Amino acid sequence: MSSSRTDTLTPIAERVAPTPEQFRADVLPAGQPVVMRGVASDWPLVIAAGHGAHAAMAMLEAVSNASMTSVLRADPSLEGRFHYAGDDYAMNFIRGEGNIAGILAGLREQENSYRPFAIAAQSMVADHYFPGFSQAHPMPLVPVEVGPRVWIGNAAKIATHNDPIDNVAVVAAGRRRFTLFPPEAEPDLYMGPKHPTPAGAPISMVHVTAPDFDRFPRFASALEVAQVAELSPGDAIFIPRDWFHHVEALERFNVLVNYWWDAQGQGGTHE
């Protein structure tokens, strides 16, 4: 993507740490994405991340158990893009299993590599892998019954997709860039098949960070309505239901914590 296209993307609206009452009265009813700076600045994990990636890793490892989870790994040549390998819709990554200690060891192994393998452990139910996480890291903006999910990895790119439920995502370590598209942009996003998919939801066939406009010319129209923001530890973003989003982790160690729920306040189970 040329700088002339990215530099003109509309910034996502921002607010400084709204109260739960302000979130429910102003942010939710508007149905528009909002970046909320400093919402989780007092989280223990965010404070640890302020002392560096290894401090955050040590904290996570200390409170984790040995439960196994799915882990994605992609070749360095793919530059962190978890996607399809070709027109046959085979995946461009391998899927394995590991516990938190093993995942963190793998990330430490890759952090000094000039071209690291991309590693991602996604959508882990926080309290299952890190007992007591939700109590130590409260999120009063979301319904009380909605539990957190944890995403750990290095500089990976999650392809553009959308979810049928509301989402608050908190950057707990590292930095992430979110590029959002409204639901009406779907015809210009060149969505892939409903099956197979990398993680359950159909994804755009366009690489946001390196789009092929010859192959996907209408994507230029999608960029005209796109919104973008970069989040640091403690910042959160509200992504309304059905909004498409591309998520790019920008550092060698990144942790995202997110909360999905529907209009009735029920926690989402989307993977």
Say which residue the tokens 């366009």 belong to: 206
What is the C-alpha to C-alpha distance for residues 259 and 271, in angstroms, rounded to an integer?
A: 12
In a domain, 50, yes or no: yes
- Output b/e per residue, 90-108; b: 16+ Cβ within 10 A: eebbeeeebbbebbbebbe
In a domain, 255, yes or no: yes
In a domain, 129, yes or no: yes
Sheet of 157-161: strands edge to edge? 10-11, 227-231, 176-181, 244-249, 157-161, 81-82
| pLDDT the model gives residue 270 | 46
Count up the domains in the chain and report the number: 1
At what angle are helices 100-110 and 53-63 packed, to 10 degrees?
A: 160
In a domain, 269, yes or no: no
In a domain, 270, yes or no: no
| pLDDT the model gives residue 3 | 38
| pLDDT the model gives residue 133 | 98
Contact indicator for 260, 163 with CB cutoff of 8 Å: yes
In a domain, 138, yes or no: yes
In a domain, 170, yes or no: yes
In a domain, 142, yes or no: yes
> What CATH number does residue 140 fall under?
2.60.120.650
| pLDDT the model gives residue 121 | 97
Q: Which domain holds residue 219?
A: 3-261
| pLDDT the model gives residue 36 | 97
Q: Which two tokens stand for residue 1?
A: 């993507």
Say how many C-beta atoms besides its own lie within 10 A of residue 118's C-beta. 22
Peptide bond connecting 20 to the previous residue in cis, omega within 30 degrees of 0: no
Average pLDDT by stretches of 10, the chain with 271 residues? 60 95 95 97 98 98 98 96 92 97 97 94 98 97 96 96 97 98 98 92 96 97 98 98 97 97 63 42
Nearest to 163 by CA among 183, 143, 190: 183
| pLDDT the model gives residue 200 | 86
